[in-house]
Amino acid sequence: GQNIDQPTEMTATEGAIVQINCTYQTSGFNGLFWYQQHAGEAPTFLSYNVLDGLEEKGRFSSFLSRSKGYSYLLLKELQMKDSASYLCAVTDSNYQLIWGAGTKLIIKP
Amino acid sequence: GAVVSQHPSWVICKSGTSVKIECRSLDFQATTMFWYRQFPKQSLMLMATSNEGSKATYEQGVEKDKFLINHASLTLSTLTVTSAHPEDSSFYICSARDILADRPEQYFGPGTRLTVT
């Protein structure tokens, strides 16, 4: 079956760095997405990785290793507004998005 | 670019009535739209994939006669919750894929909060 695993909840301190991991097992692979979702709102796009390596975009970076079925989202200089759920999603061979359950990130002052 | 709207943003209805939710891609064409449901503190659950001009594909466990999906144009898909019951109260989110985009990203609407009393 298809499966995406990510931690349920993480806590970090304002100004620090946090890494959210995602491992996947899917039938085929056509890219991995990270989305941010604040409570009561729809998800918003953060990053897309289809090749191995690190993609950096401001305070957020995303890494992919296809051979290991592994990705992480790195958030630097954490701000209180970064408190949200972070969703990992993989596009399979049918171009359907397979969603992880999301990681709730709690930022403490 | 790539804006998706949903209407209404919230709705309260009585048990037994039907509710229609619209999802529109405002600045791109979408042959495929997706309907999700999300209960409090839970992850997104894909309900169905809507393809323009054809029948929707429903996920296992989703009643197609209860959740009617119509995708009549490249910019509009509708979800009708028929004979709604309190257990249908949830956050319904649509997303759309740009047919011209070079990556399979889904653009999300802002969601519709449905409360059935």
Average pLDDT over residues B74-86: 95
Average pLDDT over residues A62-83: 97
pLDDT at B16: 96
pLDDT tops 70 at residue A32: yes
pLDDT at B112: 97
Average pLDDT over residues A76-104: 93
- Mean pLDDT, chain B, rounded, equals 92
Q: How many CB atoms lie within 10 A of CB B18?
A: 12
The strand ranges marked E within chain B are 4-7, 10-13, 19-25, 32-38, 45-51, 57-58, 67-73, 76-81, 90-97, 106-108, 112-116
Average pLDDT over residues A12-40: 95
The separation between CA B70 and the C-alpha centre of its own chain, rounded to angstroms, equals: 10
Residue of A nearest to B48 (CA): A96
Residue contact A95–B104, C-beta within 8 A = yes
pLDDT in tens, B29-74: 888 899 999 988 788 899 999 988 888 999 999 999 999 999 988 8
pLDDT tops 70 at residue A33: yes
pLDDT at B1: 66
pLDDT tops 80 at residue B99: no
| B14 and B114 Cβ atoms separated by less than 8 Å | no
pLDDT at A107: 97
| A21 and A32 Cβ atoms separated by less than 8 Å | no
**Which tokens in the block code for residue A29?**
């692979």
Q: Which residues of B lie closer than 8 Å to A, measured between beta carbons? A: 34, 42-44, 46, 49, 91, 93, 103-111, 113
Average pLDDT over residues A103-108: 97
Average pLDDT over residues A91-106: 90
Residue of A nearest to B45 (CA): A99
pLDDT tops 80 at residue A1: no
Average pLDDT over residues B82-108: 90
pLDDT at B63: 94
Distance from CA of B68 to the nearest CA of A (A): 21
Share of chain B above pLDDT 70, in %: 99
Average pLDDT over residues A37-54: 93
Residue, of B115 and B28, whose pLDDT is higher: B115
| B93 and B7 Cβ atoms separated by less than 8 Å | no
List the single residue in B34, B104, B108 with the smallest CB-CB distance to A91. Answer: B104
